[in-house]
Amino acid sequence: MSEMRRERDPRLLAAALLIAGIASACGPSGDPVQGSLDAMVKAANARDASALFDHLAAGFEAADGSSLADAKSNVERYFAAYEILDVSIRDVRIERGEGAARVRLRAQMSGQPRKIGGLEGIVPSSAAYDFDLRLAVEDGKWKVTWAQWNPAGAPAP
């Protein structure tokens, strides 16, 4: 049954996890990358798409070719489908460069779907994804410029 759910909404789920997942990433205290990511997780857990997308670059693109507009549309629908949404992060690895960072992590999402129109049977209550992200400084903030995600444990394409 989980295979059917994955076929129904993989981009929607992945986009939501992308945004929420990267927001919980790691870094030393006082790190500006960490500050930006913390703000994103707070926005994601509050299901505040506007605050969350303030931390994606204008030219954001996903590995599958979807754009910032695509991600916004998917995440807004996904957030609307949940009463409660919570994301935890593990296995975080950050590589830093001049004005850029690469973050790899595993995000575990859990939530309570809204109880309307059979949504609980379509929207998963939990999922895990592995992310590979690129962040850069834009307008004085660390923002996600590129992202790739796969179901946790699946081989990278």
Q: Tell me the residue length of the chain.
A: 157
DSSP structural state of residue 154: P
Give the confidence band of 20 by pLDDT, cuts at 50, 70, 90.
low
Task: Give percent of the chain above pLDDT 90.
Answer: 27
pLDDT tens for each residue of 25-43? 434 457 777 777 777 778 8
CATH architecture of 2-151: Roll (3.10)
The pLDDT score that the predictor gives to residue 19 is: 54
Instruction: Please tell me the distance from the alpha carbon of residue 138 to that of residue 42, in angstroms, as a whole number.
Output: 20
The edge-to-edge listing of strands for the beta sheet with 141-151 is: 56-62, 141-151, 126-138, 100-113, 82-97
Torsion angles phi and psi, residue 18, rounded to 5: -55, -55
Q: Is the dihedral of CA 110, 156, 153, 32 positive or negative?
A: negative
pTM value is 0.76
Give the confidence band of 18 by pLDDT, cuts at 50, 70, 90.
low
pLDDT tens for each residue of 107-146? 888 888 887 766 556 767 788 889 899 999 999 999 999 9
